[in-house]
Amino acid sequence: MGEKITKMDRQPIISAKDVEITFSLRGKKLNAIRKCSLDLYDGETLAIVGESGSGKSVFTKTFVGMLDVNGKITGGSIMYEGRDMTKFTEKDWLGVRGKKIAMVMQDPMTSLNPLKKIGKQIQESIEHHQGLKGAEAKKAAIEMLAKVGIPDPERRYEQYPHEFSGGMRQRVVIAIAAACRPQILICDEPTTALDVTIQAQILQLIRDLQKELGMSVIYITHDLGVIHEMADEVAVMYCGQIVEKAPVDELFADPKHPYSEGLLHAIPRITKERKPLLTIEGAVPNPTERIEGCTFWPRCPHASEICKRAEAPQKQLTGERSVKCWLYAEEADRETAEKKEA
């Protein structure tokens, strides 16, 4: 895990405020992301966690301008280097995507060209973003293959993606992203399809590259088990909203939102006593479903009547910790919600 970041009197390198994203699907408008806010600081690892369908990938794709064509940012701002990325043109993105902010996707085969040699794909990235050419760029590509743990990099440079294992392909994708020495690396479920041993190797590789290159990392996952040693901060997402933000140690020691608590209880543990694995009942609602009040209440063991009627406010508990839940709301918040209903 990276060194603990002290945030007093520091400016975030990315600051997302009240971001909203809407998708058009068969003539309907789907609100996929609803007023999400988070800050990323220099050298920090921020984990965004939640079940599949929570909106993690959709939200972070806005940081690299990769929303699907039927998606649109309909509210909020994402500030980076003094500019609002929600207003970027494709020309603006060419100077940021890959060069300053890079992304590693879940399935490396969607990122690699099956008809092109691995080395050439890394070399093209280096030539495009670093300005190196020819033999110099090839040398840098081979060095990057070695850096990410690919054995015999000169020979592997000449091979194609299908000649690599899943873990090795993921290393190649990380090499392509890191070759440009980005300020921010976004990792979207980079170990999901890998076995436990290879997962650990990939996570260690990301940590090593972060330390060497001085990157900030956004790590997207549905598995809280992998982030305890990876992250400094955690944002928990559910149904297109951030329901809790906390330093990683505080979240694991004392989760505040019932959803965060459920995710932590679902982590498998090795104990002498054999106990059934705890789960969260139900599933993340379909974005087409309209749920009044808190979207988690149908699955929440602490749900009360107000949870079913009104959305909870975001409550700041400490400087670095917040939660969106009626369990922590002030009486004034409840009165305001009741007045709106009247």
Domain boundaries, the chain: 109-181
The Cβ-side half-sphere exposure at 224, using a 13 Å CA radius, reads 24
Closest by CA to 325, choosing from 59, 301, 341, 342, is 301
CA distance 284 to 127: 43
Closest by CA to 163, choosing from 120, 114, 209, is 114
% of the chain residues with pLDDT over 70: 94
Beta strands in the chain (DSSP E): 14-25, 28-40, 45-49, 71-80, 83-84, 101-104, 184-188, 216-221, 233-238, 241-247, 314-318, 321-324
% of the chain residues with pLDDT over 90: 67
Beta strands in 222-286 (DSSP E): 233-238, 241-247
The pLDDT tens digits for 58-90 are 999 999 999 999 999 999 999 999 999 999 999
21, 59 contact by CB (below 8 A): yes
Residue 79, both tokens: 């500030």
Closest by CA to 15, choosing from 58, 79, 93, is 79
The pLDDT tens digits for 182-226 are 999 999 998 877 888 888 899 999 999 999 999 999 999 988 888
Mean pLDDT over 162-167 rounds to: 92
Cβ neighbours, 10 Å, residue 290:
8
